[in-house]
Amino acid sequence: MEPTDSVKLRAAQRAIEKKAPFHRGRNEIADAVILEVYADCVRDKSLKGVRFAFVTHNKDDFSEPNGDKRLPHPDVAALFSRVKSLYFISLKEALSRINPGLVVGIMDEEDWSEEQRELSEIANALNELFDKVWYGRHVEIADSVESGKIKVVGKREYPVEKLNQNLIRRDIWESAKKAARRVEKKYGVENLGPWDEFDWGMLSGRLSALRWVLGEEWDVLDI
């Protein structure tokens, strides 16, 4: 279904009001559009007698934040009811509610397995995480340069014998700024932070996990 202008406006209004799925301070416009498209289906009077179900694994954005994750977030709860519009966080549970026979021998959780991702998909995700973590650290250094905490110096002024956290060579800094512009062009500045502590934890955890999958040790976060 193509989202209407009305759907897009309502999704944007959710962002302005910080309502789910925007309650965690992240850009979730795509999820908000999906939710509002679903809302249009539920409210469509020409579909009288039709039952609907919203099925998602995204419990952080759509479910009750401090309680039973099987319940919708209070910001979206008005869309759901016990009969016409149901909320699920498991496809198996949704199918069981419609017809238990659909899941017998087909989606038994003990026998269910996800299709493995291609190596290229893992590598692409790893490269994106690397870029975003590097960019976040670059922004911190740029703030320190601007405030004077870190001084940009020439090769002759930079000590050869040991690393100095308060100095950075001018040629290295210029290269870093060019690299940062490439990252901005590739992903868009709006998708590069600023990151809060939760976001940093997620980015770092994902980077560490994918590196482990590809053969490195745990907690390798060198950039």
139-159 burial, b at 16+ Cβ within 10 Å, e below that, comes to: eeeeeebeeeebeebeeeebe
**Pairing status of strand 52-55 against strand 85-88:** parallel
Reduced to 3 states (helix: H, G, I; strand: E, B; else coil), residue 190 is helix
Q: Nearest-5° angle of CA 142, CA 146, CA 150?
A: 75
Compute the distance between CA of residue 213 and CA of residue 31 in angstroms, rounded to an integer: 29
Reduced to 3 states (helix: H, G, I; strand: E, B; else coil), residue 86 is strand
Compute the distance between CA of residue 185 and CA of residue 188 in angstroms, rounded to an integer: 6
Give the residues across from 86 on adjacent strands.
53
Question: DSSP secondary-structure letter at 79?
Answer: G
Percentage of the chain beyond pLDDT 70 is 92
* pLDDT greater at residue 101 or residue 132: 132
pLDDT greater than 70 at residue 21 = yes
The pair of three-digit structure tokens given for residue 128, joined into one six-digit string: 């994106």
Tell me the per-residue pLDDT of 66-99, one tens digit each, with 9 for 90 and over.
888 999 999 999 999 988 999 999 888 888 888 8
What per-residue confidence (pLDDT) applies to 75?
95
Q: What is the pTM of this model?
A: 0.50
Question: What is the C-alpha radius of gyration for the chain, rounded to an integer number of angstroms?
Answer: 24
Neighbours of 187 (CB within 10 A): 14
Mean pLDDT is lowest, of 111-120, 147-156, 206-215, for 111-120
Provide the residue count of the chain.
Answer: 223
What per-residue confidence (pLDDT) applies to 112?
53
Compute the distance between CA of residue 62 and CA of residue 89 in angstroms, rounded to an integer: 9
Q: What residue ranges in the chain does DSSP mark as E strands?
A: 52-55, 85-88, 151-153, 167-169
